[in-house]
Amino acid sequence: MVGFCFNCLCEVIPDFDSQEGHQEELTVDKMMIKVFCLVLLFSLNCSLDFNHGITMRVNQKCIDYVKNFGMEFLKKKLMNQMLPDMTGSTTKFGKGEFLLSGIKVEELQLPKSAALPKAPANIVVSIEDASVNASGNWKMHHWLVNNSGKFVLNLSNVAIKARLSTFWNDFRRPSVLLDDCQSSVGKAKVHFSGKRKWLYNLFSGFLDKPIRTNLNAKLCPKVKDIINSLNRKLDTFLVVTKPDAYIDIHYSLLEKPKTTDRYIDLYLMGKARPAGNPVEYALSPKPIPLPDDNNYMLYVGFPTDFFHTLAASYFMANALERTITPKDFPEAFWLSTDGYNHTFSEITLHYPEACPMEMIVMATQAPAVSLTPNSLTLTMFGFLKAYALLPDSLEPLFSMYLEADLCTHDLQMSQLNLTSNFILTR
């Protein structure tokens, strides 16, 4: 739990007819102050739950996690999948042609893989010592062998090295480009089955090179297909999100990602606007200094401007206003006139019997935000008006100006959501 410190200042204005034109300053007990402040905060409780910042540092630990996930995904994608047919020729014992078709991957091992960021804007992905076991159908036309059957193929010492460049597209979304790809297949051993397999397998050693050459020619195009698939996913990256009907959050890239030998930095817009309002792009973002270590997968720096635009956008969209009724809090004593017997004596005089209440809470100006390296302070300014719920009408009871200071020394991030728990101290 993250502790917040609240400082509440209240000015009470009675609304009874008997005191028209007269304002009396009343002392409100601490419990009632807490109740009113919490009601005001209830209308703003969603405004700190967004996950958009302006500087995001993706560390090697995160890159390794994504790489491991990607390797497992690749294995699942290739397992039991059909590979392209292979054709080739041999001149051993005379010229002959062969066809390997219906090739199905039975086993795939990826013991060594890495993904390393490289300045200024690259990621190098490598796979070494990979092995593949596959099976399929063979057919050969040769003066010694003119037959078909089943085969088992073992590939070993398979290696791929690809250099990717990171950039942004015309829609300010992240994207990647395959700059270079190199691959090799160290060994290819095929075992033919059939009644005369001893004869067929005389050719297996001579098919090693054409099979390796054929497969190697298909590896980098396959990598390119995977990159194209990744870019199609990145094309769905939302540059504007609508968390509700009141505001839009803009978090498109301000410039292309920057890569060092240890991490990748992303610079996002991280600004809120009332729904439908356009946003201007800063020409040169100011990066937020982040820790230069690999202790965590991600570091995210939130600028003060993000919280300012978020708070101001909700205020301009008239979202910081709420009507609280007994239906919202059926057991709340502070929504009944008898809960104020010892606080507002005038209420007891006008309503000797308990009467349900309704409260309207609204912000009177945009909340102010202050950030320091170790804390966040949010100051909210509001107005509360309480009414008695009569059978046919609403009767005003009292009004109250509220000012609340929320302070925290710790913000929690879970699944890219910025969250905190509030504690009212006074």
Residues 6+ apart with CB under 8 A from 75: 108, 110
CA distance 249 to 271: 6
Averaged over 242-258, what is the pLDDT?
A: 85
3-state secondary structure of 198: helix
The pLDDT value given to residue 396:
93
Is residue 53 predicted with pLDDT exceeding 80?
A: no
Is residue 409 predicted with pLDDT exceeding 60?
A: yes
75-133 pLDDT, tens digit per residue, is: 887 776 777 788 877 776 677 788 888 888 889 999 999 999 998 888 999 999 999 99
Q: For the domain 58-234, what is the CATH code?
A: 3.15.10.10
Our CA angle for 109, 111, 112, nearest 5°, is: 130
328-373 pLDDT, tens digit per residue, is: 999 888 899 988 878 888 888 888 889 999 999 999 998 888 877 6
Averaged over 244-255, what is the pLDDT?
A: 85
Is residue 147 predicted with pLDDT exceeding 80?
A: no
What is the domain partition of the chain in residue ranges?
4-44+320-419, 58-234
Q: Give the DSSP H or E segment for 274.
A: strand 271-274
The pLDDT value given to residue 26:
33
**Which residue in 260, 241, 16 sits closest to 122, CA to CA?**
260
Q: How does DSSP classify residue 207?
A: G
CA distance 162 to 137: 31
Q: How confident is the model at residue 27 (pLDDT cuts 50, 70, 90)?
A: very low
Which alpha helices (DSSP H) does 237-341 contain, by range?
A: 304-316
Number of H helices, E strands in the chain: 6, 21
